[in-house]
A = this chain, B = another copy of it.
Amino acid sequence: MLGFSPISKKRKRVSVCLTPAMVDLFKVEESIAVVIDVLRATSSMCVAFDHGVERIIPVESIEDCMAYRQQGFLVGGERNGEMVEGFDFGNSPFSYKNPALKGKTIAMTTTNGTQAIHAVSHAKKIVVGSFANISVLTEWLGKQDENILLVCSGWKNRINLEDTIFAGAMVKRLRQWYDLHEDSALVAETLFKAANFRKRYFLKNSSHFQRLMHLNLQEDVKYCLRKDTHPVIPIMENGSLVNLLASRK
């Protein structure tokens, strides 16, 4: 099944960049970049926006984040999976399930996710993907007339299983509108098909899952693998993320 494009005869393409280390191999400036860090940064961002957070400023270093704190912003994130001393929040999705966050701006830095956002800062548009927003995000992408680049945050430039599987889930849905570009899209999709319906079992073998288990974060992992829990579209706008769907609420 080739599907059809509602936009044009000449179909646009979807590519998968399996780690930020490979980002220079892709035409980022001609693409909408979807940044993926399933465990846990991009999942937590979706939770935060769904609880009314107005802006998330992705920050590369802990020092820059603390500078935002001194200016009165809330700050969140982690290094190597653990909360940073002096931060208001860690990287758990549950930290952001808080109605008191409505209207707030949060500066956030994580080991991989916020770094990946910076690696694609020259993209046409930057949005954030996770199982929490997969359906609204893919439906919105289906209406765009641009090439799509799915950017897995990985772990310190290495490939990780959960982001690759999630990219594969998106490829499977985007196929109806987009052509697959390069083998990494096919690799991700095949992996997703092999993993689906037994995601947690499958992820038990992954290095980051084991890292989080060691930190007692089972509930975080379970939550991050649930689909469509937070139907928001975090999108970059003047250096910070906002919820594209906020006006609908």
Q: Which residues of A contact B (CB under 8 A)?
A: 18-19, 21-22, 25, 155, 157-161, 164, 180, 182-184, 186-187, 190-191, 193-195, 205-208
Contacts and interface: CB of A to CB of B under 8 A. Distances in A.
Contacts of A186: 161, 205-206
A91 B205 CA distance: 38
A206 B22 CA distance: 19
B158 A187 contact: no
Nearest to A16: B159
Contacts of A184: 158-159
Given A158-B184, A161-B186, A194-B194, 13 more contacts: A18-B159, A21-B21, A25-B157, A158-B183, A159-B182, A159-B187, A161-B183, A164-B183, A164-B187, A183-B206, A186-B206, A187-B191, A193-B194
Contact of A183 (B180, B190, B207): B207
A199 to B, nearest CB: 13
24 contacts: A18-B159, A19-B22, A21-B21, A21-B22, A21-B25, A25-B158, A158-B184, A159-B182, A159-B184, A159-B187, A160-B183, A161-B186, A164-B183, A164-B187, A180-B205, A182-B207, A183-B207, A183-B208, A186-B205, A186-B206, A187-B187, A190-B190, A191-B191, A193-B194
A190 B194 contact: yes
A190 B19 CA distance: 18
Q: Which of A182, A186, A191 has the most CB of B within 10 A?
A: A186
Nearest to A180: B205
A104 to B, nearest CB: 35
A155 B22 CA distance: 13
A182 B158 contact: yes
Q: Which of A159, A184, A206 has the most CB of B within 10 A?
A: A159
A140 B117 CA distance: 44
A164 B205 CA distance: 18
Contacts of A194: 190-191, 193-194
Contacts of A206: 183, 186
